Amino acid sequence: METITVGLGQRSYPIYIGTDLNYGELIREALPKVTDVMVVTNTTVGPLYFDELKTQLEEHDFNVSECVLKDGEAYKTVDSWWQILTALMEKDFGRDGAVIALGGGVVGDMAGFAASAYQRGIPFVQIPTTLLAMVDSSVGGKTAINHPLGKNMIGAFYQPKAVIADLDCLKTLPERELTAGLGEVVKTGIIYDDKFFDFLKEQVSKVFSYDLDTLSHIVKRCCEIKALVVSQDEKEHGLRAILNYGHTFGHAIEAYLGFGTWLHGEAVGLGMVIASALALDRKLISKDDFDNMLELCQSAKLPTVIPERMTGNDFIEHMRHDKKVRHGVIRYVLPVRIGEVKIFSDVSDDEVRSLISRMKA
Ligand SMILES: NC(=O)c1ccc[n+]([C@@H]2O[C@H](COP(=O)([O-])OP(=O)(O)OC[C@H]3O[C@@H](n4cnc5c(N)ncnc54)[C@H](O)[C@@H]3O)[C@@H](O)[C@H]2O)c1
Ligand SMILES: [Zn+2]
Q: How confident is the model at residue 239 (pLDDT cuts 50, 70, 90)?
A: confident
SS (H, E, C) 51-63: HHHHHHHHHCCCE
Task: Supply the range of the domain harboring residue 227.
Answer: 175-360
The reply to whether 167 and 187 lie within a common domain is no
**303-328: per-residue pLDDT in tens?**
999 999 999 999 999 998 776 666 77
Q: How confident is the model at residue 196 (pLDDT cuts 50, 70, 90)?
A: very high
CA separation for the pair 185, 297 (Å, rounded): 10
Catalytic residue among 142, 220, 221, 318: 142
The reply to whether 167 and 314 lie within a common domain is no
The reply to whether 344 and 282 lie within a common domain is yes
The reply to whether 167 and 185 lie within a common domain is no
Closest CA to 88 of 57, 56, 58, 122: 122
For residue 109, how far is its CA from the centre of ligand 2 (angstroms)? Answer: 12
The lowest-confidence range among 104-113, 134-143, 201-210, 226-235 is 226-235
Domain harbouring 154, CATH code: 3.40.50.1970
In the chain, pLDDT over 70 holds for what percent of residues?
99
Do the strands 340-344 and 332-337 form a parallel or antiparallel pair, or are they unpaired?
antiparallel
The reply to whether 241 and 337 lie within a common domain is yes
Torsion of CA 271, 348, 194, 222, to 10 degrees: -50
Q: Which amino acid is at 237?
A: H
**91-138: per-residue pLDDT in tens?**
999 999 999 999 999 999 999 999 999 999 999 999 999 999 999 999
Q: Which of 152, 172, 192 is the last residue of a domain?
A: 172
Does the C-beta of 140 come closer than 6 Å to ligand 1? yes
Q: What pLDDT does 361 receive?
A: 83
Give the mean pLDDT of 212-241.
92
For residue 69, how far is its CA from the centre of ligand 1 (angstroms)? Answer: 13
Q: What pLDDT does 238 receive?
A: 82
Number of Cα atoms under 13 Å in the Cβ half of residue 21: 24
The reply to whether 274 and 153 lie within a common domain is no
Q: Which of 122, 156, 172 is the last residue of a domain?
A: 172
- pLDDT at 270 > cutoff 70: yes
Residue nearest to atom 19 of ligand 1 (CA): 104
Q: Which of 172, 189, 209 is the last residue of a domain?
A: 172
The reply to whether 44 and 103 lie within a common domain is yes
Does the C-beta of 54 come closer than 6 Å to ligand 1? no
H helix runs in 193-302, sequence order: 194-203, 212-232, 247-257, 264-281, 287-299
For residue 78, how far is its CA from the centre of ligand 2 (angstroms)? Answer: 21
